[in-house]
Amino acid sequence: MAERSFVEEVKKLRLGAGEVFSGEGILAVTKALLESGVAYVAGYQGAPISHLMDVLADAQDILTDHGIRFENSASEATAAATLAASVNYPLRGAVTFKATVGTNVASDALANLASGGVLGGALIIVGEDYGEGSSIMQERSHAFAMKSQMWLLDPRPNLPCIVQAVKDGFDLSEASSTPVMLQLRIRACHVHGQFVASDNRKSAFTLQQALAEPQRDVNRIVLPPASFLHEKEKVEQRWPAAVRFIQERQLNEFFAEDADDVGVVVQGGTYNTLIRALNHLGLADVYGESQLPLYVMNVAYPLVDAEFERFCQGKRAILVLEEGQPNFVEQNVADILRRLGSTTTLHGKDLLPLAGEYNTATLLKGLTAFLQQYGKLAPEPKARKMIPLVAAPAATSAELAANVHARPPGFCTGCPERPIFTAMKLVERELGPHHVTADIGCHLFSILPPFNIGATTMGYGLGAASAAAFNVPGGRRAISVMGDGGFWHNGLTSGIANAVFNRSDNLTIVVDNSYTSATGGQDILSSKALNATRSTGHAIEQAVRGVGVRWVRTLKRTYDLKAMTATLREALTTKEKGPKVLVAQSECMLNKQRREKPQVRKAVAAGQRVVRERFGVDPDTCTGDHSCIRLSGCPSLTIKPNPDPLRTDPVAAVQDSCVGCGLCGEVSHAAVLCPSFYRAEIVTNPTRGDRLRQRVRQAVIGWLQRRDAQRRAQLAF
Amino acid sequence: MSVQQPIKIAILAMGGEGGGVLADWIVDLGEHQGWHAQTTSVPGVAQRTGATIYYVELLPPAPQPTTRQPVLALMPMPGDVDVVLCSELMEAGRAVQRGLVTPQRTTLITSTHRVYAIAEKAAMGDGRVNDEVLVQHAREAAQKLVSFDMARTAEESGSVISAVLFGALCGVGALPFSRADFEATIERGGVGVKPSLKAFGRGCQAALGQDAPAAEPAATVPTPAPQTAAVAALLQRVEREHRPACQHVVREGVRRLIDYQDTAYAALYLDRLAALVRQAGADEDTLVRETARHLALWMSYEDTIRVADLKTRDSRFQRVQGEVRAKADQQLHINEFMHPRIEEVCETLPAALGRWLARPHALHRLVARFTREGRVIRTSSLRGFALLWLLSRWRVARRSTLRYVQENQRIEHWVQRVQALAASHPALALEVARLQRLVKGYGDTHARGLRNYQTLLGVLDRHGATLAPAQLARLRDAALADEHGKALQAALQQQALHA
């Protein structure tokens, strides 16, 4: 069950010609796929393209209507290999994943695909997670396009352009027999806008037809001598074909081409930011009307020499705006200009930062330097009156900085992963610190306070693999953490099977919360949910035993801190040789709440007896040490001013958002913290028996309490 | 070239707070009036309680027909934002820090409530940042500031902060749309419309200034009204023996110790303070006040009797009822998480018996085995209540318990140290008094605190009056910096005090 339901959005996928689609960028891409007549779609979820996958998952009926095969691929490599269907048949296919992590995983399949080339249009939609708010290492997909010679589209970030890019991408792919990558930056994926829809198209050729009459062409297979020919074909046929197509279809755009003797070259994805920067300089209006010549490359790779020749005609200088490094585009432009013997001066990273996101302020600075150099702006430009960039005085900003803390994402309220790390902290107290390798997933939040657990993260599913070297006699065992998502993505083989084969002695904890939670709660093989279109319920323990692990423990309730610490202790101290695997199971609380809340509401409305549990802290026994918070970090476990007139340290407090997961109580028991925690059970619609018992209790307890209260009242003042 | 400019709106929120809903409302509001509206954000993992920014641009319809579509930006630029909406006070500080709020043009709308960051929550003492600083910077940075506790407003109207923020955005008049337009937007959303509209209305009013919260009434101290002669005598002693500036704290101490034990115990408290006052200079109010506060806290150390007493009170039952929002037609059960170890058992017994049981022998091992694990006691059941209630009655014998004997010794020792320094070195005496703050909590936490306290007393013993008060204060802060005592060790080494 995905985090969001897209029932409303799915309706938009049925819009016909002339109707206006209004919504997010990535959903527009989904509609564009249907309008392009795809025969199959595959992918692996991850920000920012998860919604594409989730919408398609909710749109099974539309997909069936159009005869489209939709796969939730096991990994990005699987997704990329799925495009093999377009090698021998005129079938259009699209795959999607997060870049550059997904591109990395997929690169073997992509390279093979690009080598042999395609017959049907093959589109790789990558969500480029670069810049502020990114959760991955900062690299670009551009290098993958270059090395495998696939074409890379980077359209202007508005819905009509994005939709057009999808359609152009298929055409370009077919025209040049080459797979095409469509790069969408994270904000473009989530941008809200509108476009005029076209009718959806069914694929003229079907998957059934392909299976009925299988085709093969040994020249398309990556095997010598064909593979040597592929390389030649790429540069002699496919590349020129692509360049021709790009020019004929005018995929790249020229604005105000002859307005001045200097100009700016920009990739489509950065266009809006450039216009805003020019707007601040008084050189463009909000409709993109520019006084400076612009060459907008909606195709980021390959570059079109002739178009550069055209743009540089009569220009003293051009500025290439290229985010990230290395500066592939700028180098390429330098090469083009040199070969042309052009006298146009080239600027780029000499005026702009080598690394980091190009936001408006950065572009503004670079543009200003460029325009000043060519006398287009006065050294102290008057135009800058519009942007009062006042630097705060250092003293006040230091004072503010001391009072504004970073607020990184963390485990949700009641998250079942938190007790695993609490247990690790507790075991660490007994056995000393262990080397811990982390993975990708929600559990990676354990590297942050309050847990501070984990030393490296090498990639999705590579938690166990990254402890491989730490296998020496007499050493303290290394601990690896891996999510169920990473486990099925590749961790079973790269981590577990590898550990078996290499006779590892380490411990791997597999966090099994029934979903790939970090990417939005999609189902996977080990999901407990019954999914109408996927096969679930495949136990991780069975898979682990299947590859030869002997020491496997499955804990069905991560909140059981006692069992968790005991199992960890055993895993770290047992004499038994070989890899140890601990499967820690409890359902993702975010998904569980989403599932159960409506049911509870219904039961309450129907008059059934419902018990809600939540925790609380007695402020008069809490002494304000906050050990509980350091061992939990739950968002609903917080602090509040001490009501005691004699104390100053804030006391712990539980907010009403508490879901009663039980960890607070377990922690206070296991760590012998304090007696301040209580668990309240609130019974809605109590039965007659409940009410009777309550009356008896109240009579006795109430009587005693009143007596005590009277005594205290007498001594009060 | 068109001179039109969009209205630029940044929303700073934490994941799960409805920042996305708010952004969507603003877009829908604009589009319904025929404006161009664009929003974008970086949700990703930020939705899991991390801080994130939603950005909206609104452009009125073009004055002349144009074939070109507007080109709107996807992220806010420092110095170029018209309205900043923050769901929490520290996020407002972040907006100011990022330069999104400028005095020339930015309207800053923020809730003043706090959602504490993990570093603030996890500190061993008080790690909270200064809210005043945040408000001050927000006020200085913004052209116009609208700030009030929106969490409370949302809570009172049974809705969420985003609705209150939307109301405040309407009330502040930064957008050229009518209140009816705003409300129609919420109605079109179709989810939780009624409470959202209520919260919206409250937010709108607050921003208009019609609902400006009256200044907090100054807390009036009620005149003490003792019911019994013994209590009255104690209160008279407070007035007689202490300067007015100290009386309030001392009186609270007396109240605490009567509640903790009895009037005689409170008298002992006053005796100890009187001895200090005799030593201290006439104007050492801070020393007396702080000692009075810490002495009351130490003398009301949390033993099993005290915990049982506090847990079984009727006022506590009522507090829990309110805190968990149990309604009258619902039933409430309270389960306590207790972990009495053999140490606590021994401490609760009469001193001699307790000492004997603490020694390793068969009975010790037996009791130890039975107290290895924590217990859940249901105070709202007859059995659970009876157990705790009886334990609280053991108060009559508290002075004979092992814990009392131990604590009393420590208190005496500490009070004497403070007294001894009071005349010659009052600033150091004050820091010694404040060392009590280290000794808190239960079980391991208490043992750790006590260990740190004793370490610092050792330092005091070795270096005596040559120790600067600020040095001792730094050591105390270091002791509260981490659980493993690393900061304290480092501080001791740094100051070369580990002789």
Residue-wise pLDDT tens digits, A654-686: 999 999 999 999 999 988 888 999 999 999 999
β-bridge partners, A122: A93
CA distance A614 to A36: 52
Helix then strand count (H, E) for chain A reads 27, 24
* Residue of chain A whose Cα is closest to the Cα of B123: A626
Residue B465 clears pLDDT 90, i.e. is over it: no
> Structure tokens of B336?
């306590």
CA distance A353 to B485: 44
CA distance A495 to A478: 13
* Amino acid at site A67: G
Do residues A192 and B55 make contact, with C-beta atoms less than 8 angstroms apart? no
- Other CB atoms closer than 10 Å to residue B279's CB: what's the count? 17
| Average pLDDT for B433-445 | 91
* Confidence at B48, pLDDT banded by 50, 70, 90: low
Contacts of A648 in chain B (CB under 8 A): 126
Task: Identify which of A403, A445, A669 has the shortest CB distance to residue B337.
Answer: A669
**Sign, CA torsion A354/A355/A357/A361:** negative
* Amino acid at site A453: I
CA distance A568 to A551: 12
- Highest mean pLDDT, choosing among A44-53, A297-306, A385-394, B466-475: A297-306
Higher-pLDDT residue of B16 and B163 is B163
B299 touches chain A (CB under 8 A): no
Task: Identify which of A360, A406, A620 has the shortest CB distance to residue B310.
Answer: A620
Q: Which residues contact A85 (CB under 8 A, 6 or more apart)?
A: A39, A40, A91, A93, A120, A207, A210
CA distance A456 to A480: 10
Task: Identify which of B2, B129, B444 has the shortest CB distance to residue A403.
Answer: B129
DSSP B119: H
Which of B105, B252, B303, B323 would you mutate first to test chain A, the one with the most A CBs within 10 A?
B323
Do residues A422 and A667 make contact, with C-beta atoms less than 8 angstroms apart? yes
| Average pLDDT for A600-622 | 96
Low-confidence winner among A451-455, A466-470, B378-382, B495-499 (lowest mean pLDDT): B495-499
B158 touches chain A (CB under 8 A): no
| Average pLDDT for B288-306 | 97
Cβ <8 Å between B42 and A633:
no
Residue B191 clears pLDDT 90, i.e. is over it: no
Angle CA B308–A637–A668, to nearest 5: 45
DSSP one-letter string for B120-172: HHH-SS-----HHHHHHHHHHH-SEEEEE-HHHHHHHTTS-HHHHHHHHHHHH
Do residues A564 and A553 make contact, with C-beta atoms less than 8 angstroms apart? no
B323 touches chain A (CB under 8 A): yes
According to the model, what pLDDT value does residue B210 have? 60
Contacts of B314 in chain A (CB under 8 A): 702, 705-706, 708-709
Torsions phi, psi for B14 (to 5 deg): -105, 155
- Other CB atoms closer than 10 Å to residue B174's CB: what's the count? 20
Mean pLDDT of chain A: 94
Do residues A469 and A436 make contact, with C-beta atoms less than 8 angstroms apart? no
| Average pLDDT for A537-544 | 98
Separation in Å, CA B218 to CA A643, B221, B223, B406: 17, 9, 15, 41
Strands across the sheet containing A151-153: A69-72, A40-43, A93-99, A122-128, A180-185, A151-153, A299-301
Task: Identify which of B72, B124, B330 has the shortest CB distance to residue A625.
Answer: B124
According to the model, what pLDDT value does residue B16 have? 75
According to the model, what pLDDT value does residue B499 have? 44
According to the model, what pLDDT value does residue B217 have? 55
Which of A281, A625, A700 would you mutate first to test chain B, the one with the most B CBs within 10 A?
A625
Helices B426-434 and B402-424: angle between axes, nearest 10 degrees: 160
- Highest mean pLDDT, choosing among A515-524, B217-226, B303-312: B303-312
DSSP-derived pairing of the beta strands B7-14 and B83-86: parallel
Residue closest to A683 by CA, chosen among B280, B73, B333: B333
Cβ <8 Å between B126 and A650:
yes
Contacts of B50 in chain A (CB under 8 A): 407-410
| Average pLDDT for A502-508 | 97
* Confidence at A189, pLDDT banded by 50, 70, 90: very high
Contacts of A645 in chain B (CB under 8 A): 252
Task: Identify which of A133, A450, A705 has the shortest CB distance to residue B46.
Answer: A133
| Average pLDDT for A618-641 | 93
CA distance B422 to B284: 9
Mean pLDDT of chain B: 92
The B residues from 68 to 97 touching A (CB cutoff 8 Å) are 68-75, 77-80, 90-91, 93-94, 96-97
Which of A600, A678, A711 would you mutate first to test chain B, the one with the most B CBs within 10 A?
A678
Residue B15 clears pLDDT 90, i.e. is over it: no
> Structure tokens of A403?
């009072």
SS3 at position A277: helix
Cβ <8 Å between A709 and B313:
yes
* Residue of chain A whose Cα is closest to the Cα of B138: A400
Residue closest to A277 by CA, chosen among A367, A348, A386: A367
* Confidence at B67, pLDDT banded by 50, 70, 90: confident
According to the model, what pLDDT value does residue A250 have? 98
β-bridge partners, A319: A264, A347
* Amino acid at site B51: A
Contacts of B37 in chain A (CB under 8 A): 192
Contacts of A157 in chain B (CB under 8 A): 74
Task: Identify which of A132, A518, A672 has the shortest CB distance to residue B339.
Answer: A672
| Average pLDDT for A7-24 | 93
CA–CA min distance A381, chain B (Å): 17
- Other CB atoms closer than 10 Å to residue B9's CB: what's the count? 28
Residue B303 clears pLDDT 70, i.e. is over it: yes
Contacts of A446 in chain B (CB under 8 A): none
β-bridge partners, B107: B83, B144
- What are the tens digits of pLDDT across the range B88-119? 999 999 999 999 999 999 999 999 999 999 99
Angle CA A194–A594–B12, to nearest 5: 55
CA distance B423 to B279: 6
According to the model, what pLDDT value does residue B458 have? 93
CA distance B431 to B290: 9
Q: How many angstroms separate the first and last alpha carbons of chain A?
A: 59
B444 touches chain A (CB under 8 A): yes
Residue B212 clears pLDDT 70, i.e. is over it: no
Cβ <8 Å between B39 and A709:
no
Cβ <8 Å between B79 and A650:
no
| Average pLDDT for A373-392 | 66
- Other CB atoms closer than 10 Å to residue B455's CB: what's the count? 19
* Amino acid at site A439: D
Residue B154 clears pLDDT 90, i.e. is over it: yes
Domain locations in chain B?
7-207, 229-303+403-494, 304-402
Contacts of A680 in chain B (CB under 8 A): 320, 324, 326, 332-335
Cβ <8 Å between A672 and B374:
yes
Contacts of B385 in chain A (CB under 8 A): 697, 700-701, 704
Q: What is the CATH number of domain B7-207?
A: 3.40.920.10
SS3 at position A290: strand
Nearest-Å Rg of the Cα atoms of chain B is: 30
CA distance A541 to A534: 20
| Average pLDDT for A220-243 | 97
Residue A501 clears pLDDT 90, i.e. is over it: yes
CA–CA min distance B251, chain A (Å): 10
Higher-pLDDT residue of A399 and A8 is A399
Contacts of A614 in chain B (CB under 8 A): 324
- What are the tens digits of pLDDT across the range B479-498? 998 888 899 999 998 887 76
Residue B42 clears pLDDT 90, i.e. is over it: no
According to the model, what pLDDT value does residue A408 have? 84
> Structure tokens of A594?
């989403």
> To the nearest whole percent, how much of chain B has pLDDT over 70?
96
* Residue of chain B whose Cα is closest to the Cα of A659: B324
Do residues A70 and A41 make contact, with C-beta atoms less than 8 angstroms apart? yes
What's the longest Cα–Cα distance across chain B? 96
Which of B94, B337, B338, B383 would you mutate first to test chain A, the one with the most A CBs within 10 A?
B337
Residue closest to B123 by CA, chosen among A629, A612, A364: A629
Nearest-Å Rg of the Cα atoms of chain A is: 30
B58 touches chain A (CB under 8 A): no
Cβ <8 Å between B40 and A190:
yes
Residue B213 clears pLDDT 60, i.e. is over it: no
B51 touches chain A (CB under 8 A): yes
Task: Identify which of B6, B24, B443 has the shortest CB distance to residue A673.
Answer: B443
According to the model, what pLDDT value does residue A391 have? 52
Residue B219 clears pLDDT 70, i.e. is over it: no
* Residue of chain B whose Cα is closest to the Cα of A625: B124
| Average pLDDT for A220-234 | 96
Residue A390 clears pLDDT 60, i.e. is over it: no
> Structure tokens of A10?
């799915």
> To the nearest whole percent, how much of chain B has pLDDT over 90?
82
Q: Which residues contact B181 (CB under 8 A, 6 or more apart)?
A: B29, B32, B33
The B residues from 97 to 116 touching A (CB cutoff 8 Å) are 97, 99, 102, 104, 115-116
CA distance A156 to A188: 9
* Residue of chain B whose Cα is closest to the Cα of A364: B77
> Is the pTM above the cut of 0.90?
yes
CA atoms within 13 A on the CB side of B195: 12
SS3 at position B497: coil
Residue A388 clears pLDDT 70, i.e. is over it: no
CA distance B406 to B354: 11
